[in-house]
Amino acid sequence: MIRLSCPDVGEQELQAIATVFERAYLGMSKEVKAFEEELTDFLQMPTVCVNNGTGALQLALQACGIGRGDEVIVPSLTYVASFQAISATGANAVACDVDAHTGLMDLEDVKKRLTPRTKALMYVHYASQIGNRQQVLDFAQEKGLRLIEDAAHSFGHADLINAPADILCWSFDGLKNVTAGEGGGVSTNNQEVLSHIRDGRLLGVEGDSQKRFNQQRSWAFDVKHQGWRFHMSDVMAAIGRVQLRRFQELHQKRRAIVEAYFKAFRSMPWIGLFEEIASPKVSPYPFPVRVPSDQREAFQDFLKERGVETGRLYYPNHWLTFYKTPYELPQTDAIYAQLTAIPLNPKMTLEDAGRVIEVVGEFFKKL
Ligand SMILES: *Cc1c(COP(=O)(O)O)cnc(C)c1O
């Protein structure tokens, strides 16, 4: 089976974990500190590490003072993590529609969802695209809203390095562009937000991050707000540091596959492509395509029978009991019915990509 997603981890990552084991300090300490410094350098923006991408989003919202009674507008087409991070703060996740071609937040629909309780927009970089983010940033600024970006898919996008932004949230889970096994990060130039998250990830204990970075503990301290056990461990950071050093290598592997896909699929009229992914600026994850909705199931079965794994990213959140909307989101419904993700991971060879292309071609020849 050619896998949809798969991390590329090996000897170097194992060696890095061994070093942490030898130090016998597994919690949050020197490795996390170093990972934060290296991420800050890479992204050209101050970055703090947390337990996972969901925790990053939740802490970012809470650092903005968002909670009960507030509303956060988020596209329905995203992993349920985006929604859960919002509702975990006590705020309401207000689902909005997406653009029918990009799957990104539809600003015209956002305008319909605004109320006096709206405090923030969560912009999701679906399939590594950042499309209309500048427009969304301008809109948020104009309306006095916070902009928290779910950048779980877009780590390494060239236009996000040193970019104007309010808050960017990353995921380092097992499938993402850079993995730490599990992990997340928040990047922002806002010192207040950074400081709130540094304490918030360690039960709100003031200044505990700095102590732990020096392998010390806080025995007497103050807590001024609700906190969580959302810190990153040195074991995870050790993996993440190696992956970050390998970024170019992993990026090139993903790009080579994506370029082969674009070259082949451009001549297959049945396949809808997400055009931004063709840009060399994009570090792609995952690789969804659009197929005619009445063919999707047959397409997935056909590929599966021939050893090619596929997926549906993502089941719309406004269809879920917990996040059901009293209004329709027709563009989300329409695009979801066509979405099929095909394999893209740094362990794949170009022969694997060739096999995927061949099987996809065979399917569409029958139509
Ligand atoms: C992976 C992902 C997250 C959550 O990240 P975790 O590290 O798995 O908690 C959030 N949003 C999107 C779009 C994701 O793909």
**Model pLDDT for residues 195-248, shown as the tens digit of each residue:** 999 999 999 999 999 999 998 988 999 999 999 999 999 999 999 999 999 999
- The rounded distance, in Å, linking the Cα atoms of 279 and 131 is 12
CA of 272 to the centre of ligand 1 (A): 24
Q: Residues in the chain with pLDDT < 50?
A: none
Q: How far is CA 33 from the centre of its chain?
A: 22
Q: pLDDT tens, 35-89?
A: 999 999 999 999 999 999 999 999 999 999 999 999 999 999 999 999 999 999 9
Whether the ω angle into residue 346 lies within 30 degrees of 0, i.e. cis, is no
pLDDT at position 37, please?
A: 98
Its pTM stands at: 0.98
CB of 109 closer than 6 angstroms to any ligand 1 atom: no
pLDDT at position 367, please?
A: 74
Task: Give the helix/strand (H/E) hosting 122.
Answer: strand 118-124
- How would you label 150-160 residue by residue, b for 16+ Cβ within 10 Å and e otherwise? bbbbbbbbeeb
- The rounded distance, in Å, linking the Cα atoms of 150 and 146 is 13
Which atom of ligand 1 lies closest to the CA of 183? 7
Number of H helices, E strands in the chain: 13, 9
pLDDT at position 178, please?
A: 97
pLDDT at position 133, please?
A: 97
pLDDT at position 86, please?
A: 98
pLDDT at position 308, please?
A: 98
CB of 126 closer than 6 angstroms to any ligand 1 atom: no
Report which protein residue has its CA nearest ligand 1's atom 5: 53
pLDDT at position 14, please?
A: 98
pLDDT at position 366, please?
A: 76
At position 312, the amino acid (one-letter code) is: R
Cα-flanking dihedrals φ and ψ of residue 26, to 5°?
A: -95, -15
Helices (H), the chain: 11-23, 30-43, 53-63, 80-88, 107-113, 133-143, 191-200, 208-213, 234-245, 247-265, 296-305, 330-336, 350-365
Do 60 and 267 touch, CB atoms closer than 8 A? no
